[in-house]
Amino acid sequence: MKIDTEKKIVLTLDAGGTNLKFSAISGREILFDPIYIPTQPNDLEECLDRIVSGFRAVLERLPTPPFAISFAFPGPADYPRGIIGDLQNLPAFRGGVALGPFLEETFSLPVFINNDGDLFAYGEALAGFLPEVNRALEEAGNPTRYHNLLGVTFGTGFGGGIISGGILHRGDNSIGGEICLLRNKLHPDWCAEEGCCIRAVRRTYAALTDSPPELAPDPKEIYQIACGERVGNRDAALEAYRQFGEIAGDAIAQALTLTDSLVVFGGGLSAAAPAFLPALLASANSSYQNPDGPYRKLIQHLYSFDDPAQRHAFLHPAVRQIRIPKSDRTISYYPDAKTAIGISRLGTSQAVATGAYAFALAHG
């Protein structure tokens, strides 16, 4: 799908427990700075009124009428029908709220709601990491092309989305790509999210420094401590992010056995990638200790696309010429399966908005 030259306007919303952020997008261009309105998470009527007033404020700024409303909203939810389920950070929506149909009746526009991890992956697949990798392969003279993408976000939670052949995989219950619920490698009774999100970094740092979790620095400060840019327990900061990477890498490896795709990551914690990415790669590329000996978690090797040496190895794989049986002809054979991981090319918010825009065009 080509959206760069598209002129239709779509209203967007980034919904959180604290603020509602409204804007509009045309093609890949955000038309103006977002409008922020406090969420009012415990009062449904007030929260709905604020959502309506936010979209109306956006409408007043538009040069032409919009084509649709398309945005990310926390789950669980029946996204195809626009029904929001029991949310932890928005208690007012518990019990099921038909937000999509409500907005359709209010604005007489098609309304599309999705998970932010899904839309992040969709945006990066259409206009970010996936096409960049394929352009680099072409420039390197490598005939391989990638068509699938696993997108993960590290922030308040551990989100995920799967793009297969250019199509967003939502699943039969609109819960496809919920990587957060994979098992936590270091704490097998926990889910993976409890090892690779904001609270996990703070919890681990607090445990290593024998201090209460609520008094732990925020992850940005812990990263600065790890880099030696801030006073604190540097060994604990480095270990907090190392454990983060080990758990995230194991979860991503589990997911890659099903998606066989490229991987892109974003979210607020992605800026700390230098502290966790080496452990993530080591974990994903490690082996099981089976009864008969080591066995790799992944058939393919996961490379960092943002590391020059690893990028070169990914783009220039070993190739052999093998003979076609009972023939004088030969064929090129790439014996080693490869994939790559990289940071968001669009920025997380832009990727989500781009994905929301493209989804509206594809389904409107």
From 19, 47, 48, 44, select the one nearest 34 (Cα to Cα): 19
Q: How many CB atoms lie within 10 A of CB 94?
A: 13
pLDDT at 273 (0 to 100): 98
**Contact indicator for 256, 164 with CB cutoff of 8 Å:** no
Q: At what angle do helices 219-226 and 198-208 cross, to 10 degrees?
A: 50
3-state SS assignment for residue 59? helix
Residue 128 burial by Cβ neighbours in a 10 Å radius (0-12, 13-18, 19+)? buried
Q: How many CB atoms lie within 10 A of CB 324?
A: 9
3-state SS assignment for residue 121? helix
pLDDT at 6 (0 to 100): 79
Q: Which parts of the chain have pLDDT scores under 70? A: 1
Backbone angles phi, psi at 129, to 5 degrees: -65, -45
**Contact indicator for 295, 287 with CB cutoff of 8 Å:** yes
From 331, 309, 343, 308, select the one nearest 143 (Cα to Cα): 331
pLDDT at 35 (0 to 100): 94
**Contact indicator for 152, 194 with CB cutoff of 8 Å:** no
**What distance in Å separates the CA atoms of residue 192 and residue 244, rounded to the nearest whole number?**
10
| Domains identified in the chain and CATH numbers | 9-114 (3.30.420.40), 120-345 (3.30.420.40)
**What are the tens digits of pLDDT across the range 30-76?**
898 999 999 888 899 999 999 999 999 999 999 999 999 999 988 88
Token look-up 């490698």 returns 185
